[in-house]
Chain A
């Protein structure tokens, strides 16, 4: 007996990258998958459900974008395998909706012809007709339909225009399978397809006689200019970092105030004891120390969404192609690496768009060196400490943060180049092909929904893993109990003992046992570093109701070695920052690397290489600095 899911008829959405498949998928299914105004957003198969106007339920698959059915990259192979029914557990689609960018029929129809040749019923969704008409293109969907022998639905998926008409076309019976009359000579089928597409465009997509510069063309004169383009790129990146520091200060103040109020309430309700200590020092201090960074992380995701949605991200990839080639990579590696600034996991997944297997492996290897958002809490704690300033509203702090990112990027490029050389040249030449989409007004709804998703994911992590680790860290710093003052009790606790054991290993880096312990705990999740420091340095939330992080910074700044010298000197802070730039402290990333590279050895090798590199780099920084008297 087949399950209800199996009996559902399946519709697959296919199209060139950036033709609007995911937007159409979201509109059809009411889903909220990530969309972006650049190629390669969909690197995995997504599934949802929709209904025809008569209420018949259909399963919808959103396939990764591909230019042809040659399956030259892993994401293209996914699409081809699904269409040909070669994926176990996935039925062959009953109908394929070819999503075609109406402004680029010459290129996009080529894939549609290949799909028609497979002998599956096809409907063409002629997407973004508004943009095409604005550019002066005169479209004749009926003529295209007549030439191809399949239904053609003009639409504007981002405004849900044409959606009802498309659903009408998905009704039973499905359209009949047309005869691929253009493919008469099997030896010259590529040429025949090209000629047929040109023939269709001549009669059904007439351009104005004189070539007119569109708004995007005019803007690209500056944004892709060899000089102005780079200046605009640098200013954009700097503004993003500066905004993250500046604009987040207000909501961070609210979170800190709320944290102080809760701590105060617990302290006024409970008398002194273990439970009060657990709640105030362990849970509120630990979780609050991480949650306070939520506004900054959300701002980062907001800006990434804004750049993607407007179309600028594709220009940045184009600009970066030359730079990437210096590292032995192509512009295709830019998007996975840029995504890794938010989180290395989607970044590693996005390497599926890279054709060359060797380039893909190298990109996966260096992706975790793009400073991800989990490192931000550590940077936000340490950078103001380094500058002897309060947090926020400082161009100097933004500059240091940009410098931290630059260190990670430049090292990853050097290692990528060396590794690329070691792996050798590809057997076949791979070309960098990228759609430069027209600039569009950002899709605010999608951006804010995506930001809200990230907010929820961060809060869920803080409420589960970080909450659990905060409780365990509190226990380690409290048990076994010792009768004495607070410092003695901590020294005799399990955490104090662990710190004493690892101190000889981290002292050459300029860290004491407590920092060593905080580093050790942050191998589960980097953000835990702050909360561990909070617990280990006994930062009392109730002492300062408004700025708990300010208190933590003040407390650790005052911490000294036994001889009275400060632990957190500028040199030891730089050493610590360098360690966090390079260390791979994220188990989920290692798991995804193992899966994507198809080898646990690759993931384990990457973990030990990066952690060892971080240790040696921090050691060199600290010892060299000491030699020069810092």
Chain B
């Protein structure tokens, strides 16, 4: 089967993008210890 190189690269870009989105969605959230408890400070 002869697959066009443009199809391969486009599919690769889509897979990488989807992986980044899935990784960002599923990674454990950082513990915002100093935020949200009234002090309003950023976690440095």
Contact = CB atoms under 8 A, between A and B. Distances in A.
Interface stretch (A8-16, A42-50, A94-102, A294-302): A42-50
A277 B39 contact: no
Chain A interface helix/strand/loop/mixed = helix
Contact of B41 (A47, A75, A277, A278): A47
B3 to A, nearest CB: 10
Nearest to A278: B10
A468 B39 contact: no
Contact of B4 (A74, A88, A274, A472): A274
Interface in B1-44: 4-7, 9-11, 13-14, 17-18, 20-21, 33-36, 38-42, 44
Nearest to A64: B40
A77 interface: yes
Contact of A472 (B17, B33, B38): B17
B9 A275 contact: yes
A45 B40 contact: yes
Given A89-B33, A275-B9, A44 B40 contact: yes
Contacts of A475: 14, 18
B23 to A, nearest CB: 11
B39 A90 contact: yes
Contacts of B14: 278, 471-472, 474-475
Contact of A81 (B11, B34, B39, B44): B39
B33 to A, nearest CB: 7
A90 B42 CA distance: 12
A173 interface: no
A216 to B, nearest CB: 31
Given A77-B38, A471-B13, A47 B44 contact: yes
Interface residues of A, number: 32
A78 B38 contact: yes
B32 to A, nearest CB: 8
Contacts of B18: 472, 475
Nearest to B4: A273
A595 B35 contact: yes
Nearest to A81: B39
B1 to A, nearest CB: 13
Contacts of A471: 13-14, 17
Contacts of A87: 39, 41
A597 B39 CA distance: 14
A127 B41 CA distance: 26
Given A274-B7, A275-B9, A277-B10, A472 B21 contact: yes
B19 to A, nearest CB: 11
A5 B34 CA distance: 16
A358 interface: no
21 contacts: A44-B42, A75-B40, A77-B38, A81-B38, A82-B39, A89-B33, A270-B6, A273-B4, A273-B10, A274-B10, A274-B11, A275-B6, A275-B10, A278-B14, A349-B40, A468-B17, A471-B13, A471-B14, A471-B17, A472-B17, A595-B35
5 cross-chain pairs, A with B, having the tightest CB-CB distances, nearest first:
A273-B6, A44-B40, A275-B6, A274-B10, A45-B41
Interface of A: 5, 43-45, 47, 64, 74-75, 77-78, 81-82, 87-90, 270, 273-278, 349, 352, 468, 471-472, 474-475, 595, 598
Given A270-B6, A471-B13, A471-B17, 10 more contacts: A44-B40, A45-B39, A74-B38, A273-B4, A273-B6, A273-B7, A274-B4, A274-B10, A275-B10, A472-B17
